[in-house]
């Protein structure tokens, strides 16, 4: 069959991107090659394949597809989202360098930036991303990286990128965005001048709560450097995880669009309930970043958060009463989940520190799945009544 030359849509790319055209006798699904080592040519190191090098057939296929989905030159899949962030930082920063990070980031990343990275002689400044001129004030001659997460876990704030990318580029600083909450269906940061995109592929990219993986997207030379770090720090993914990730990606467009619709319906319903003090969802006109979200995102996402009147004790009663939502960490899969960040991603922060970044006790994060919205709403309703 002739090669397709037109630019493919996101869903088509998610299914076919980077894959060779199947020929008679080959499987329609990609074969899983669960080997750790590969037969090598004699007399040369060309073509050396080893799972820790990230060049197994299953890793290479899903890497090509992810680069196409994010619109980057290259992508590298690693064994977890934290592995992706750690190796990207190891590739970008050296002793004596300075990192400026949004203070509104996933708890594990916060720990990496406040303990491990400073332990390597790299200085880190955390910035409130909404403070006027906050980013600029934090910059030093040694600043090499600006890091942020948008939409923000778990508050669903959406950060403006235009002025930040001009600032970063005028100073020769790499702008790195953790885009886990959005997925490439809703947001592709590279289209907005971002240099490096990171995902916990454990979440929307895979979408089924059954693998741990991460991805770094960027230009070829940078991805090569991240690969070198991945090889020596031992952060490569298993071929089976790559195979499941590739299979999960095939449905990302339909999954995420359904999650967007469900979350919108649930957020609107929750915003009318007297038991709920606050709903955090960028699709609601009342959300402080609704206008930014409308311009940056193609969909408002499947993540939302609620604060119940009655705070912590009410949250615990509510969670106990839920029948469909599962109380579990992680997010972005087809099953709906609920979690309290104070007992999961942000458990190592004090209540005061959490309150400062908008996470009071009793704050509940909902990861909306692809179930029927009316069933999810009925579940929330019966739990609120108890
Ligand atoms: C926004 C964000 N980034 C990174 C991570 C880390 O990903 P992983 O658990 O795959 O290491 C998470 C995990 O929850 C996350 O929510």
3-state secondary structure of 262: helix
Q: What angle, rounded to 10 degrees, do the helices at 220-233 and 81-92 form?
A: 110
For residue 274, what are the contacts with CB-CB under 8 A and spacing of at least 6? 309
User: Once rounded to an integer, what is the mean pLDDT over residues 43-49?
Assistant: 91
User: Once rounded to an integer, what is the mean pLDDT over residues 170-175?
Assistant: 98
In terms of phi and psi (left: phi > 0; alpha: psi -120 to 50; beta: otherwise), the region of 356 is alpha
pLDDT digits (tens, 9 = 90+) for 76-117: 999 999 999 999 999 999 999 999 999 999 989 999 999 999
User: Once rounded to an integer, what is the mean pLDDT over residues 236-255?
Assistant: 98
Q: Give residue 80's pLDDT.
A: 98
**Please, what is the Cα angle at 144 between 150 and 73, to 5 degrees?**
65
Distance 106 CA to ligand 1 centre (A): 7
Average pLDDT, rounded, for the chain: 96
Instruction: Describe the chain by its helix, strand, coil percentages, rounded to 5.
Output: 40, 15, 45
Domains of the chain from N-terminus onward: 47-249 (3.40.640.10), 252-385 (3.90.1150.10)
pLDDT digits (tens, 9 = 90+) for 251-283: 999 999 999 999 999 999 999 999 999 999 999
- The model's pTM: 0.96
Cα(311)–Cα(253) distance, integer angstroms: 35
Give the number of other Cβ atoms within 10 Å of residue 4's Cβ: 10
Q: Is the pLDDT of residue 1 over 50?
A: no
Q: Give residue 385's pLDDT.
A: 94
3-state secondary structure of 68: helix
Q: Whose CA is nearest to atom 6 of ligand 1?
A: 81
Prior bond to 43 cis, omega within 30?
Answer: no
Cα–Cα nearest to 363, from 333, 339, 383, 381 = 339
In terms of phi and psi (left: phi > 0; alpha: psi -120 to 50; beta: otherwise), the region of 219 is beta
Q: Is the pLDDT of residue 181 over 70?
A: yes
Cα(203)–Cα(303) distance, integer angstroms: 11
pLDDT digits (tens, 9 = 90+) for 279-297: 999 999 999 999 999 999 9
User: Once rounded to an integer, what is the mean pLDDT over residues 193-210?
Assistant: 98
Cα–Cα nearest to 242, from 53, 22, 39, 61 = 61
Label the pairing between strands 196-200 and 276-280. unpaired
Q: Which atom of ligand 1 is nearest to the CA of 345?
A: 14
Q: Give residue 7's pLDDT.
A: 87
Q: Give residue 114's pLDDT.
A: 96
85-102 core/surface letters (b: 16 or more CB in 10 A; e: else): bbbbbbbbbeeebbbbbb
Catalytic residues: 52, 106, 178, 203
Residues with CB under 6 Å of ligand 1 are: 80-82, 106, 108-109, 149, 153, 178, 180-181, 200, 202, 212, 214, 330, 345
Distance 56 CA to ligand 1 centre (A): 24
Q: What is the largest CA-CA distance in the chain?
A: 74
Q: Give residue 386's pLDDT.
A: 86
Q: Whose CA is nearest to atom 12 of ligand 1?
A: 200
Q: Give residue 2's pLDDT.
A: 52
Q: What percent of the chain has pLDDT over 70?
A: 99
Measured on CA atoms in the order 93, 95, 97, 98, is the torsion positive or negative?
positive
Cα(255)–Cα(239) distance, integer angstroms: 24
Residues 15, 69 contacting (CB under 8 angstroms): no
């Amino acid at each position: 069959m002739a090669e397709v030359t037109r630019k493919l849509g996101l869903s088509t790319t998610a299914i076919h991107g980077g894959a060779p055209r199947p020929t008679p006798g080959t499987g329609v699904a990609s074969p899983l090659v669960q080997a750790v080592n590969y037969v090598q040519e004699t007399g040369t190191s060309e073509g050396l394949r080893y799972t820790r090098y990230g060049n197994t057939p299953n890793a290479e296929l899903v890497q090509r597809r992810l680069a196409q989905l994010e619109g980057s030159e290259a992508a590298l899949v690693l064994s977890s989202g934290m592995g992706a962030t750690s190796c990207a930082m190891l590739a970008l920063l050296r002793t004596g360098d300075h990192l400026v990070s949004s203070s509104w980031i996933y708890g594990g990343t916060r720990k990496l930036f406040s303990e491990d990275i400073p332990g390597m002689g790299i200085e880190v400044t955390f910035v409130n991303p909404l403070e006027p001129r906050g980013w600029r004030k934090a910059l030093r001659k040694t600043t090499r990286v600006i890091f942020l997460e948008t939409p923000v876990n778990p508050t669903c704030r959406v950060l403006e990128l235009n002025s930040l990318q001009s600032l970063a580029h005028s100073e020769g600083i790499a702008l790195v965005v953790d885009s886990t909450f959005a997925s490439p269906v809703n947001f592709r940061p590279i289209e907005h001048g971002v240099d490096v995109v990171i995902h916990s592929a454990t979440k929307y990219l895979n979408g089924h709560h059954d693998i741990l993986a991460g991805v770094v997207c960027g230009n070829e030379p940078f991805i090569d450097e991240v690969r070198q770090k991945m090889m020596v720090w031992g952060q490569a993914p298993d071929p089976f995880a790559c195979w499941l990730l590739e299979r999960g990606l095939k449905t990302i467009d339909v999954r995420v669009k359904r999650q967007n619709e469900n979350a919108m319906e649930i957020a609107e319903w929750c915003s009318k309930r007297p038991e709920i003090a606050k709903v955090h969802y960028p699709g609601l006109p009342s959300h402080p970043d609704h206008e930014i979200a409308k311009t940056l995102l193609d969909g408002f996402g499947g993540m939302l958060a609620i604060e119940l009147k009655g705070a912590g004790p009410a949250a615990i009663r509510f969670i106990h009463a839920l029948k469909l939502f599962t109380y579990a960490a992680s997010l972005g899969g087809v099953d709906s989940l609920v979690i309290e960040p104070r007992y999961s991603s942000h458990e190592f922060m004090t209540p005061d520190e959490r309150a400062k970044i908008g996470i009071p006790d009793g704050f509940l994060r909902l990861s909306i799945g692809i179930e029927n919205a009316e069933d999810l709403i009925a579940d929330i309703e019966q739990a609120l009544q108890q």
